[in-house]
């Protein structure tokens, strides 16, 4: 087997990650997770938790009132926002703002395009999940938002990491993470797994992040995968290619990974090329991509 395709032992990857500060979830997110885990969710309590953080709540209201949402009425409070959009949508927005804000304190370079793409993939994933009735939209959003968080860590540690990603996304034989493993003895899927664990995301979301570049084996049924996680990964792969993640991170003209898995992925989802093209149009018509 070519050296590029070998797995790196976890202890080696952890050694590579040693010294990298993984941002912890802010108290606001921890409090929301506790409240959302209750049998009967207290909407008033959710409102109080979000409103208590003036910085986050202000950004939530600003975003909701932006042209992106296209609302006809002005939202002036978190309570108003929850009544209009629902608790889960507000928490998704809070998560998106919080993780971006947490990482911005650590990154030395401008990551605007990175976080814009993460948000695009998250919103597209939630939309496709609802449209196709595959996986939980809220979990699809969460996976889309966090799946590439490891890139934000590694790009700070390795000065040449952007070049490594460009090389990885141009690869037509090996996995993107194989190229990273060869170059830096670690990869962004593993780093992202530890970010997700730090933020106490559900275990199957953390595992989906760790496996999101092993999808060739997963959809070819060469690697076992629990159904819920497999559904989430299917939605993620559609969303990544629709949002052109391969161009953002790899400056690639073609999504080579998607081309490798497309036939098996479409077979798994029961869709045709024509139906996929219609899905792409629906996403663009909804204005889900910046």
Rounded-to-integer distance, Cα 212 and Cα 1, Å:
22
Cα of first residue to Cα of last residue in the chain, in angstroms, is 41
* Most distant pair of Cα atoms in the chain: their distance: 60
Rounded-to-integer distance, Cα 216 and Cα 200, Å:
27
Q: What is the pLDDT of residue 27?
A: 93
Residue 28: closest CA among 54, 61, 3 = 54
pTM above 0.85, yes or no: yes
Domain ranges in the chain are 23-106, 110-290
Q: What is the pLDDT of residue 109?
A: 64
CATH superfamily membership of 110-290: Hypothetical protein af1432 (1.10.3210.10)
Q: What is the pLDDT of residue 5?
A: 47
Q: Which pair of structure tokens corresponds to residue 250?
A: 């790899």
Mean pLDDT by 10 residues, the chain (290 residues): 55 76 90 92 95 93 82 89 92 94 72 92 96 94 96 90 95 94 93 94 96 97 96 98 95 96 98 97 87
């Amino acid at each position: 087997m070519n050296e590029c395709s070998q797995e790196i032992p976890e202890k080696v990857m952890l050694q590579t990650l040693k010294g990298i500060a993984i941002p912890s979830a802010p108290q606001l997110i921890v409090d929301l997770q506790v409240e959302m885990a209750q049998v009967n969710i207290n909407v008033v309590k959710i409102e109080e938790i979000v409103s208590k953080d003036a910085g986050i709540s202000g950004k939530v209201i600003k975003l909701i009132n932006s042209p992106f949402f296209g609302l006809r009425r002005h939202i002036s409070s978190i309570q108003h926002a929850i009544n209009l959009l629902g608790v889960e949508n507000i928490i998704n927005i809070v998560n998106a703002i919080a993780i971006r804000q947490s990482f911005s304190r650590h990154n030395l370079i401008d990551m605007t395009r990175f976080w814009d793409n993460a948000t695009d993939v998250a919103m597209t994933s939630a939309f496709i999940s609802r449209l196709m009735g595959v996986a939980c939209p809220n979990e699809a959003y969460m996976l889309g938002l966090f799946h590439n968080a490891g890139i934000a860590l590694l790009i700070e540690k390795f000065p040449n990491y952007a070049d490594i990603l460009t090389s990885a996304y141009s690869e037509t034989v090996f996995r993107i993470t194989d190229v990273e493993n060869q170059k830096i003895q670690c990869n962004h899927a593993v780093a992202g797994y530890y970010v997700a664990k730090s933020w106490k995301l559900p275990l199957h979301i953390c595992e989906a992040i760790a496996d999101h570049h092993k999808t060739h084996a997963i959809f070819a049924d060469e690697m076992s995968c629990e159904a819920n996680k497999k559904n989430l990964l299917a939605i993620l792969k559609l969303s990544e290619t629709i949002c052109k993640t391969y161009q953002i991170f790899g400056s690639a003209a073609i999504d080579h990974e998607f081309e490798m898995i497309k036939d098996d992925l479409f077979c798994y989802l029961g869709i045709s090329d024509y139906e996929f093209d219609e899905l792409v149009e629906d996403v663009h018509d909804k204005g889900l991509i910046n």
